[in-house]
Chain A
Amino acid sequence: MIHPVLLIAIPLFFAFLLPLISLWSKKSLPYVTTAVMGLNTIIAILVFLEAMKAPIFDIIGGFQPPLGIVLMVGPLGGFLAMIINTAALIISIYSMEMKKEPLLKYYMLTLLLLMGTNGMVLTGDIFNLFVFLEVTSIASYGLASYNKDLKGFEGALKYVILGSIGSTFVLIGIALIYSQLRTLNMLDIARRLGEMDPYTKIVAFASLFLGFGVEAEMFPLNTWVPETYDGAPHPVTAMFSSMSAKSGIFALARVIFTIFAFANYLWFVVIMGLLTVFFGEIVAYVQKDIKRMLAYSSIGQMGMIIMGLGIGTTIAVEGAFFQMFSHAMGKALLFIAAGYMIYAAQTEKMSEMKGIGRNPLIGIPLLIGILSIMGMPPFIGFYGKFYILMGGFSQGYYAIIALFLAASIVEIAYYARFIKIVFQPSTKNYPAPRSTVYVPLILFAIIIVLFGVYPQPVFEVLKHVAAFLAGGA
């Protein structure tokens, strides 16, 4: 029997160990970090295979829930943990590009970010979820300001302010729930939700929803996203979009479906999602800097996921989970590519990046990533969008579907413009990418193509969405 708690304990143990290792050898830090993430990925795969059979309840401290804390890993949680750990492993290869001191702190922060995101996905206790939300966000604040220039500090400051407001609201929501039910276990809360006063219940839901919305990049709490992504180091940007945003959205899904099985208020979630999509995609269209464009596009994609969750039918939520997978892989790829392009072209302006994609080691993965994010078959991005749309049709949200399609067209337009710039012939000479850049790019591209052509394993996982919607793990 494999213990999911290892996914949290191992990165933590090595984060505490790294200062001691650095006394002995500073050069080994990146390799140790990558090795730990590799170990974590293996454990995540084992946990996922175990959770596919039956949901795992890992009791901490030996006390039965709700007396003690329990980790609750269903098939979807295991799937998401696997995505996050895999993405972390691949991004950690790119992290070896980092040369800026203090590297020890950098690797400690990345390990703790991984620990926090894993914890958010795995935990089955609402206050524990808050603690891991804080671990994730404080690690993110530290990483966002790592460049120590004006842009980095400004982005980090915005993130700190919005993040702490968000966590205050999460705590208020927990206080409201606790004051009426005197329990903190998610399934216990879900079971006894009827005892709550209806008005208090709505306020608690709204508080938790807004609080986790900050991490999930929901409109209007996402004003930190472009500046933080812009100011953060390139590997960190990839981590934000593929790790912390995913754990935030999964926490949101837990709040919506596991804790409050709210069928009546889901239209609210759909509208928030739609606003997020529109805000992200339209602002992305007018951006001139590559990282800002990708950041706004990330907001748009997160909006699509929130919409899928809000539509609430099995098909739509399947689409939302597929979209989480495709976005984690595709955006991490694009941010790594963007990091290389900014380094090679010495600027963030897209107009200065002519012909940079003509090097096949960069160009082919980049093209695959963009097509997947645009939602073209046969890449993984297609299934997510398609299923969300199908879900919308089945619920009769025709107007919303039309708006969603319009936003998708905007998205296709700006990515097409980007492709045109990057692949047009140019006489400029760019430095060749090192293996730490093209290896992660190719790995992500392989995953995107593989599961795009052969998506059956993912659909096998998504069969469990129905049980998740019914309030299971």
Chain B
Amino acid sequence: MKRAVAAILAILIFIVLGLAFAKIPFGNVNLEDYHYYNPIQDKQTSDSVPAHYLKEGKNETGSTNIVTAVVVDYRGFDTLGEVTVLFLASTGVGSVMYIFEKEKRRKVRRANAVVETASKLLFGFIILFGAYIFVHGHLTPGGGFPGGAVIASSFLLLYLAYPKFHAEHKSLNVAESLAGLTFVGVGLIGLLVASYFLYNFLPFGLPTYLFSAGVIPIIYVAVGVKVGSELTGIVDAMMGVRE
């Protein structure tokens, strides 16, 4: 009975959405065709939003990676929300798993020597790679989120190789807090300097150079550290490994 209802609802969703998307061309779009309306100045412009980003993004933000320009600068507020969501997840998981902290750990077999040695060896390189990804977020594909995830994966490797390993909670929390405060602090400085929250107040420098694009690298480093420590925290809480 429940299955039948579910199947009918799923088919209904498929048909309704399918018909709606049948009206939308796939790939056959000219981004210049859309004309946006500025509600504050109450005027119609000939530009369209994505075309404007592609044309002016490099000049307006200093970042050659337009997706980064959109994520961190044009729609930086969304990214602040996104960072908050991840922070919430790590806080929530920490709160939910709290009760089980005093539980006795199950006996876990040690990993073999190859895994232990290799993970020790790789640990530094993986962290370095993650740092590379988020430091170059404004120049190449990637950015704070993938970089942070890579860093967290290096810790995950240690968890797998050494059953007794656990990350220092206090330092994780401090890293998380400081990175978050940096992000909000950059936003508030922008508010003070130019009366726009998250305003890109630093000089852009030359495009394609590492020190360019104003506050974007700073924000992405903060995001990278934050995502890395938060994902590690989530992994740690779910493993439930405590002494």
Residues of B within 8 A of A119 (CB): 81
B108 CB within 8 Å of chain A:
no
Q: Quick check: B98 and A102 within 8 Å, CB to CB?
A: yes
New A-B contacts (19) at CB < 8 Å, excluding given A64-B41, A142-B88 = A12-B84, A13-B185, A18-B177, A20-B177, A20-B178, A23-B174, A60-B198, A61-B199, A61-B200, A62-B200, A66-B38, A67-B74, A70-B39, A109-B92, A127-B75, A131-B81, A145-B92, A148-B98, A188-B37
- Bound together, the chains give a CA A112 to CA B95 distance in angstroms of 14
- Bound together, the chains give a CA A105 to CA B39 distance in angstroms of 40
Contact pick for A109, options B50, B78, B95, CB 8 Å: B95
B6 CB within 8 Å of chain A:
no
Q: Write the residues of chain B forming the contact surface with A, with a CB cutoff of 8 angstroms.
A: 16-17, 19-21, 23-24, 31, 34, 36-41, 48-50, 52-53, 60, 73-78, 80-82, 84-85, 87-89, 91-92, 94-96, 98-99, 170, 173-174, 176-178, 180-181, 184-185, 187-188, 190-191, 194-200
Residues of B within 8 A of A464 (CB): none
Q: Quick check: B39 and A187 within 8 Å, CB to CB?
A: yes
Contact pick for B88, options A23, A135, A145, CB 8 Å: A135
- Bound together, the chains give a CA A179 to CA B180 distance in angstroms of 33
Residues of A within 8 A of B19 (CB): 199, 203
What 5 A-B pairs have minimum CB-CB distances, sorted nearest first? A142-B92, A16-B180, A187-B39, A131-B81, A105-B95
B interface SS class: helix
A5 CB within 8 Å of chain B:
yes
CB distance from B243 to the nearest CB of A (A): 18
Q: Quick check: B177 and A19 within 8 Å, CB to CB?
A: yes
- Bound together, the chains give a CA A3 to CA B95 distance in angstroms of 33
A288 CB within 8 Å of chain B:
no
- Bound together, the chains give a CA A20 to CA B197 distance in angstroms of 24
Tell me the A177-201 residues at the B interface (CB within 8 Å).
179-185, 187-188, 191-192, 197, 199-200
Residues of A within 8 A of B81 (CB): 119, 128, 131-132, 134-135
What is the size, in residues, of chain A's interface with B at 8 Å between Cβ atoms?
69
Residues of A within 8 A of B178 (CB): 20
Minimum CB distance partner of B176 in chain A: A19
Q: Quick check: B85 and A131 within 8 Å, CB to CB?
A: yes
Tell me the A357-397 residues at the B interface (CB within 8 Å).
none
A68 CB within 8 Å of chain B:
yes
- Bound together, the chains give a CA A18 to CA B197 distance in angstroms of 22
Contact pick for A112, options B40, B84, B98, B188, CB 8 Å: B84
Q: Write the residues of chain A forming the contact surface with B, with a CB cutoff of 8 angstroms.
A: 1, 3, 5-6, 9, 12-13, 15-20, 23, 57-70, 101-102, 105-106, 108-109, 112, 115-116, 119, 127-128, 131-132, 134-135, 138-139, 141-142, 145-146, 148, 172, 176, 179-185, 187-188, 191-192, 197, 199-200, 203-204
Q: Quick check: B197 and A60 within 8 Å, CB to CB?
A: yes
CB distance from A132 to the nearest CB of B (A): 6
Residues of B within 8 A of A61 (CB): 73-77, 190, 196-200
Q: Quick check: A60 and B177 within 8 Å, CB to CB?
A: no
Residues of A within 8 A of B52 (CB): 67
22 A/B residue pairs, CB under 8 Å, sorted by A: A1-B195, A9-B188, A9-B197, A12-B180, A13-B184, A16-B87, A16-B181, A16-B184, A20-B178, A23-B170, A57-B40, A63-B73, A68-B74, A109-B91, A109-B92, A109-B95, A112-B88, A131-B82, A141-B92, A142-B91, A148-B96, A182-B34
Question: Which of B38, B60, B82 has most chain A Cβ within 10 Å?
Answer: B38
If A60-B197, A63-B60 touch, whether A200 touches B191 (CB-CB below 8 Å) is no
Question: Which of B41, B78, B87 has most chain A Cβ within 10 Å?
Answer: B78
CB distance from A192 to the nearest CB of B (A): 6
- Bound together, the chains give a CA A180 to CA B84 distance in angstroms of 30
If A105-B95, A109-B95 touch, whether A182 touches B31 (CB-CB below 8 Å) is yes
Contact pick for B177, options A17, A135, A138, CB 8 Å: A17
CB distance from B170 to the nearest CB of A (A): 7
Q: Quick check: B36 and A66 within 8 Å, CB to CB?
A: yes
Residues of B within 8 A of A19 (CB): 173-174, 176-177
Contact pick for B49, options A20, A135, A182, CB 8 Å: A182
If A9-B187, A61-B73 touch, whether A179 touches B24 (CB-CB below 8 Å) is yes
CB distance from A51 to the nearest CB of B (A): 15
Contact pick for B188, options A13, A20, A101, A102, CB 8 Å: A13
- Bound together, the chains give a CA A105 to CA B92 distance in angstroms of 7
Q: Quick check: A17 and B37 within 8 Å, CB to CB?
A: no
If A105-B95, A138-B85 touch, whether A191 touches B37 (CB-CB below 8 Å) is yes
Minimum CB distance partner of B179 in chain A: A16
Q: Quick check: B197 and A192 within 8 Å, CB to CB?
A: no
CB distance from A43 to the nearest CB of B (A): 13
Q: Quick check: A138 and B188 within 8 Å, CB to CB?
A: no
- Bound together, the chains give a CA A105 to CA B80 distance in angstroms of 20
Minimum CB distance partner of B82 in chain A: A131
Minimum CB distance partner of B199 in chain A: A62
- Bound together, the chains give a CA A127 to CA B195 distance in angstroms of 23
- Bound together, the chains give a CA A61 to CA B70 distance in angstroms of 11
Residues of A within 8 A of B36 (CB): 66, 182-183, 185, 188, 192
- Bound together, the chains give a CA A69 to CA B187 distance in angstroms of 14
If A105-B98, A182-B50, A188-B36 touch, whether A68 touches B75 (CB-CB below 8 Å) is yes
Residues of A within 8 A of B84 (CB): 12, 15, 112, 115-116, 135
Residues of A within 8 A of B190 (CB): 61-62
Residues of B within 8 A of A131 (CB): 78, 81-82, 85
Minimum CB distance partner of B25 in chain A: A179
CB distance from B190 to the nearest CB of A (A): 8
Residues of B within 8 A of A142 (CB): 88, 91-92, 95-96
Contact pick for B196, options A13, A60, A148, A176, CB 8 Å: A60
Q: Quick check: A63 and B74 within 8 Å, CB to CB?
A: yes
Q: Quick check: A172 and B196 within 8 Å, CB to CB?
A: no
Minimum CB distance partner of A196 in chain B: B23
- Bound together, the chains give a CA A18 to CA B48 distance in angstroms of 42
Minimum CB distance partner of B51 in chain A: A182
- Bound together, the chains give a CA A138 to CA B83 distance in angstroms of 13
Q: Quick check: A65 and B39 within 8 Å, CB to CB?
A: yes
Minimum CB distance partner of A172 in chain B: B17
Residues of B within 8 A of A182 (CB): 31, 34, 36, 48-50
Minimum CB distance partner of B20 in chain A: A203
- Bound together, the chains give a CA A424 to CA B48 distance in angstroms of 68
- Bound together, the chains give a CA A345 to CA B205 distance in angstroms of 68
Residues of A within 8 A of B194 (CB): 62
